[in-house]
Structure 1
């Protein structure tokens, strides 16, 4: 762990990586003290999260896209936003955005230089329960957004919700995009258990917006909300969504929320999953900035026409077709496969990397049906599943061996 003050961006990254534990603390076992480290750090920083107007977004998938759609809508409506998402795709600075603009490397380094002395002192006091990597990343977001005096801080939860570092806020609105079996070693082995963890972000009397969820997940979330006097609006029930392909091949959406109606066109490639995330963002925006609905309608149409969340069915090229997607659950892989069916491409080549906690066969199954060739690699040597192991798993599952290739380092 570097103890000299951070002066450069590279020194900042070295400091942050030094906070990553080789032996992470057991998730449920530390429940009673889960948020004490981040709270201790925030107290030293003047509790910047207190009073911050927050929309808190959790979910197995879709939370990052929903956050970026919401950011775009609120910006177009004239509100000042701060957005914290994780993990980053290419640059560390992606995690922090103000008014839709990514932090600069200089500002990023300066922000953490201010946090570093407090983190080091807490490490010296109690190494076992000092702030973690994600605690520090979260605290930095609250400092930044408080100082920037944002009208709305859009905060994406990390894992789960109940015990997450981001859950120290008193959010004015909670959004739960989806619930699937994921991180079962931490969140529980059932849909109901995982829903309970995500429902932990719901606060007293603060409205809740949810996606189309499994019945058992919705029941858990509605029960939690009812106990806290929080209203729940669900996609497909209180929030209506209708889609249609436009003559230009884009995806038109119509969202009906209570008696309000919104129209937008999502640029291709887009799917029903994309539309659902956009609809959730519209519903959140209406609850945050719905005092002038005509203005909000114009903002929705303008913002969504120009927003393309990176790494989510991201179109890189049409000649040949190149799509990048971060699908990591069965449902998100299925949504990607449905979208790919619409492309006028004769053959499909997959280049894939999976984190070590994923079920390769289950996640890739919807995509393998159409794949002519599969190349498996390891995007992150420390966290990715071994490429040869994934290839062997696919072959053992029935995918033709001559069409699979493993490349350890892309």
Structure 2
């Protein structure tokens, strides 16, 4: 037995390289085969999209649980602790189970190394193998699998799901799966599988054909938001309807309403019996960690992991509708994101730049020169947060955003502070 505590497991995972020289699925397939292909013993729903894939995955998980299904959930990133990445029926994997499964992955790696001494896994492959092995051992009825990046080449793309889901297409990770929207759409279309239905969300018209054509090629029936099911936001509610059913949910932001509609449609395609009230309750009760999460009311403190152009634009539209006296923003981003375009979205908001102690976190010099001159910078995110919090009047707002890593750090800090 290699690991005896959870810290050893997490240290091992994060000591692995991030990428292989060749971006294919051969390594993950080899380790899964060594483990007897656990991914094939559980029914799955596969979820990708530039934004909304995490929220949609949480909604799906809750709907499946309410239908009495033993449900696995694999999502990223985590907010409070690593174990959140792998969940069973809404609860994070226990430390004991994580240690046990990680030791099994190590046995598989050692066996493969005997045949090929150069064999290794990257961080995300290890996490994917952990999730599939755990879900198989727990005999899950379904597992909701959120893609890491993209689709076709993503390490999760070793499954034949019951339903595929593509929430949105926008610019993010262009260096890896871009550079154009067309490239990103083609990469994400890679999760559409033969004769398996696909649910499509709010997809830009200029790349929609790519997804519809791929579905046609795979004889996969497509269900498109606005064509096959409708989601409308009124002042007090979210209204969903399709040819079979109508639902009314508690009001949430419009982008969140789309995610809800996508999840409801996807579960409907599984032919699992769920009555109207149960569906409505399941959605209304779902909490999405780190997404428009209210930390404090009066004055309002909100955290949201928006980390790309599309997500930040949606978030700022929502915040500006609230007509606050002053909106303070604590912004920390990863340096591989579109820092310039995101920064350009801010208008009257009072922005302070910060960073967490993480290799990918942007430093002041990584931001555009104009932003460096225009905005305050505080290297210590705790100090920055406390300073802004102390400035707030009752009708002001503090928004913490730009990265789930920053959101997680702030939420942990607030939790310890109580």
Assess same fold via TM > 0.5: yes
Tell me if the contact between 1:74 and 1:299 (Cα under 8 Å) persists in the aligned partners: no
Deviation at residue 139 of structure 1 after TM alignment: 1.1
Does 1:333 pair with 2:312?
yes
Deviation at residue 393 of structure 1 after TM alignment: 4.0
Tell me if the contact between 1:55 and 1:154 (Cα under 8 Å) persists in the aligned partners: yes
Separation in 1, partners of 2:176, 2:138: 34
1:90 corresponds to? 80
Separation in 2, partners of 1:243, 1:308: 19
Q: Equivalences for 1:226-237 in 2 at 5 Å?
A: 226-237=216-227
1:10 corresponds to? 7
Tell me if the contact between 2:185 and 2:211 (Cα under 8 Å) persists in the aligned partners: yes
Does 1:100 pair with 2:90?
yes
Deviations 1:214-256 (A, max 9, x none): 123211111111001001111111111111122xxxxx11111
Deviations 1:82-113 (A, max 9, x none): 00001222210000111111112222222212
Tell me if the contact between 1:175 and 1:284 (Cα under 8 Å) persists in the aligned partners: yes
2:240 corresponds to? 255
Separation in 2, partners of 1:365, 1:103: 40
Deviation at residue 342 of structure 1 after TM alignment: 3.3
Tell me if the contact between 2:47 and 2:145 (Cα under 8 Å) persists in the aligned partners: yes
Q: Give secondary structure in 1 for the equivalent of 2:295.
A: strand
Deviations 1:340-389 (A, max 9, x none): 123353111111111111122312333x21312x2211224301111344
Deviation at residue 126 of structure 1 after TM alignment: 4.1
1:370 corresponds to? 348
Tell me if the contact between 2:59 and 2:283 (Cα under 8 Å) persists in the aligned partners: yes
Where does the alignment leave 5 or more consecutive residues of structure 1 unmatched? 247-251
Does 1:62 pair with 2:52?
yes
Q: Equivalences for 1:96-245 in 2 at 5 Å?
A: 96-123=86-113, 125-126=115-116, 129-245=119-235
1:297 corresponds to? 276
Q: Give secondary structure in 2 for the equivalent of 1:264.
A: strand
Tell me if the contact between 1:388 and 1:408 (Cα under 8 Å) persists in the aligned partners: no
Deviation at residue 391 of structure 1 after TM alignment: 7.1
Tell me if the contact between 1:321 and 1:345 (Cα under 8 Å) persists in the aligned partners: no
Identify the match of residue 367 of structure 2 among 370, 376, 390: 390
Deviation at residue 121 of structure 1 after TM alignment: 4.2
> TM-score if structure 2 supplies the norm length?
0.87
Identify the match of residue 340 of structure 2 among 355, 361, 370: 361
Separation in 2, partners of 1:87, 1:222: 29
1:406 corresponds to? 378
Deviation at residue 127 of structure 1 after TM alignment: 6.0
Identify the match of residue 77 of structure 1 among 45, 50, 67: 67
Deviations 1:20-70 (A, max 9, x none): 34xx335xxx25xx1111111111111111142110001111100000011
> TM-score if structure 1 supplies the norm length?
0.88
Tell me if the contact between 1:173 and 1:208 (Cα under 8 Å) persists in the aligned partners: yes
1:249 corresponds to? none
Separation in 2, partners of 1:391, 1:220: 34
2:358 corresponds to? 381
Tell me if the contact between 1:263 and 1:300 (Cα under 8 Å) persists in the aligned partners: no
Separation in 2, partners of 1:62, 1:126: 39
Separation in 2, partners of 1:48, 1:177: 26
Q: How many residues align?
A: 382
Tell me if the contact between 2:330 and 2:354 (Cα under 8 Å) persists in the aligned partners: yes
Shift of the 342–106 alpha-carbon distance from structure 1 to 2, 3 Å rule, reads farther
Shift of the 213–143 alpha-carbon distance from structure 1 to 2, 3 Å rule, reads same
Deviation at residue 335 of structure 1 after TM alignment: 1.1
Separation in 1, partners of 2:52, 2:313: 13
Shift of the 126–180 alpha-carbon distance from structure 1 to 2, 3 Å rule, reads farther
Deviation at residue 168 of structure 1 after TM alignment: 0.5
Separation in 2, partners of 1:148, 1:298: 29
Q: Give secondary structure in 1 for the equivalent of 2:269.
A: helix
Identify the match of residue 279 of structure 1 among 244, 258, 261: 261
Deviation at residue 133 of structure 1 after TM alignment: 1.4
Q: Give secondary structure in 1 for the equivalent of 2:238.
A: strand
Deviation at residue 157 of structure 1 after TM alignment: 0.6
